[in-house]
Amino acid sequence: MRAETGQVGVARPSAGIARAGGPTARAQADRSQADRSQADRSQTDRSQTDRSQADRRRNDGASLWRRRPSLRLVTVVLGAIWFVDGLLQLQPSMFTTSFATGTLAGAAQGQPWWVYHSVTHVAHDLLPHIAQWNVVFALVQLTIGACLVANRALKPALAASVAWSFGVWWFGEAFGGIFSGNASLVTGAPGAVFLYGLLALMAWPRRPSSEVGSAPLAAAEGAVGARWGRLSWAVLWVGSAVLQVLPSNRSDASISSALRAGASGEPHVLSALTLAAARLVGSHGSGVAIALAAVEVVVGLGIFTSRPNLALAAGIGLSLVFWVVGQQLGGILTGSGTDPNAGPLFVVLALTVWKGVPKGVPARARGAAHTTAKGRDGTVGVGAAA
């Protein structure tokens, strides 16, 4: 009996342990499975987060391409350039007679008689009081620039920009040399101040403030409108192609000679870059001129394609190359430059006709084919932003 009882006594606790351990094992298994599930969910969440961040970075990069600049940005950049011009006008060399006899009258050399006589006549009239006149010139440009940047007296400043640009383009730049037969986009034609006036017209606000930023092109908000803004881009680039194939610009040594002449008096690094470009062109100026003309036509007419931003990006790149090796940054590092030349202005012009989604439009609408009423601005939609 004792043995049986002992056996039973032992067996019963074992059964009790088995009965007690069954739920415990299952609970441990459940907890392990829950931990693994939580780890899997955490890993999945991290993977999704990483993918979301990567997608966001790609979308942000795409938005830089698809977002169009605001008209306000164009106005601020134009004002900043005007302000820089005013500061350049305060350089010591501008207060001497060489500014009248060299910079102003020098621009008339090689021009048609009517351009030559009008420019030299104004230069000679300014000569006796050139220092006083130079103060006026600097103050006008500084005032225009400050008003445009600060958004104060905007319309008077834009009007003054147009009027002043035309006067300087005639009597200070001799129309950018376009009537001489040897001007080209490489060296700064049609002249920086001509573009100042054109950009001022584009920046002239014509829409109610509640509608600002709603158009797919910044130019659509201005007085010129999107249609004429795109046409201005095309005319400037196709016109530059015409200038490039004029006989004096497509001789074998024309481009290299112009680059070597521009390198004179520049800092060593800039001069070295320009002379290297001149050596690269060498005596192949005719072929290079024809190739440049072809590229300029493509850039100009590309604004009317389904992907205008490709042409605009190419135009920006080409303008910056010309600005460095052909225009030498406008000579602003020599102490006698009066403006940065045409390169930066072509970049600003590209911003005004850059097609994209306006700021404030939801991200999901970036690639959608939105349509708008076709009016004075000539826009049809913002779907083909790229």
Task: Give residue-wise pLDDT tens across range 116-173.
Answer: 999 999 999 999 999 999 999 999 999 999 999 999 999 999 999 999 999 999 999 9
Mean pLDDT over residues 213-242, rounded? 88
Burial 140-149 (b: 16+ CB within 10 A, else e): bbbbbbbbbb
Q: Token match 């606790």: residue?
A: 13
Residue 169 lies in a domain: yes
Per-chain mean pLDDT for the chain: 83
Residue 304 has pLDDT above 70, yes or no: yes
- Residue 380's pLDDT is what? 40
The more confidently predicted of residues 136 and 24 is 136
In a domain, 57, yes or no: no
CA dihedral 258, 261, 265, 271 (to 10 degrees): 50
Asked whether residue 306 is assigned to any structural domain, the reply reads yes
**Token pair in block for residue 385:** 């932003």
CA distance 70 to 108: 38
- Under DSSP, the state recorded for 69 is P
Q: Which residues pair with 152 in a beta bridge?
A: none
User: How far, in Å, are 1, 17, 149 from residue 343 at the CA level?
Assistant: 113, 89, 20
Q: pLDDT value at position 382?
A: 37
- Mean pLDDT, to the nearest integer, of 258-266? 92
CA–CA distance, 319 with 79 (Å, rounded to integer): 20
Backbone torsion region of residue 266, taken as left when φ is above 0, otherwise alpha when ψ lies between -120 and 50, otherwise beta: beta
Residue 1, in any domain of the structure: no
Nearest to 311 by CA among 326, 300, 322: 300
Q: Is the distance from CB of 355 to CB of 332 less than 8 angstroms?
A: no
In a domain, 86, yes or no: yes
The amino acid occupying position 237 is W
Question: Is residue 72 a part of any domain in this protein?
Answer: yes
In the structure encoding, which two tokens stand for residue 167, read together? 């006067």
pLDDT over 90 at 220, yes or no: no
* Alpha-carbon gap, residue 105 to 252, rounded angstroms: 29
**pLDDT value for 368:** 41
pLDDT at 326 over 70: yes
What total number of domains does the chain contain?
A: 1
Q: For the residues of 45-62, what is the DSSP string, one character each? A: HHHHHHHHHHHHHHHHHH
> Shortest CA distance to 239 belongs to which of 159, 183, 198, 283?
183
What does the alpha-carbon distance between residue 45 and residue 128 come to, in Å, rounded to a whole number? 78
CA gap 138, 127 in Å, rounded: 16
Query: Considering only 46-60, 166-180, 242-256, 335-349, which range has the smallest mean pLDDT?
Result: 46-60
| 27-68 tens-digit pLDDT | 676 676 766 667 666 676 666 666 655 545 554 444 556 778
Predicted local distance difference test score (pLDDT) of residue 369: 35
Cβ atoms within 10 Å, residue 118: 15
pTM for this structure?
Answer: 0.78
- pLDDT tens, position by position, 3-14: 444 444 444 444
For residue 381, pLDDT over 60 is answered with: no
Beta bridge partners of 190: none
Average pLDDT score over residue span 187-193: 94
Interval 306-330 mean pLDDT = 96
Task: Find the domain containing 228 and state its range.
Answer: 68-358
Residue 217 pLDDT level (bands cut at 50, 70, 90): confident
Residue 385 reports pLDDT greater than 80: no
Look at residues 224, 228, 160 and name the one whose alpha carbon lies nearest to residue 196: 160
Mean pLDDT of 234-253: 95
Please give the Cα distance from 145 to 352 (Å, whole number): 18
Q: What share of the chain is helix, strand, coil (3-state, %, to 5)?
A: 75, 0, 25
Query: What's the confidence (pLDDT) of residue 361?
Result: 52
The pLDDT of 363-383, averaged and rounded, is 41
- In the block, residue with structure tokens 């007679």: 97
Q: Do the domain assignments include residue 263?
A: yes
Domain assignment present for 236: yes
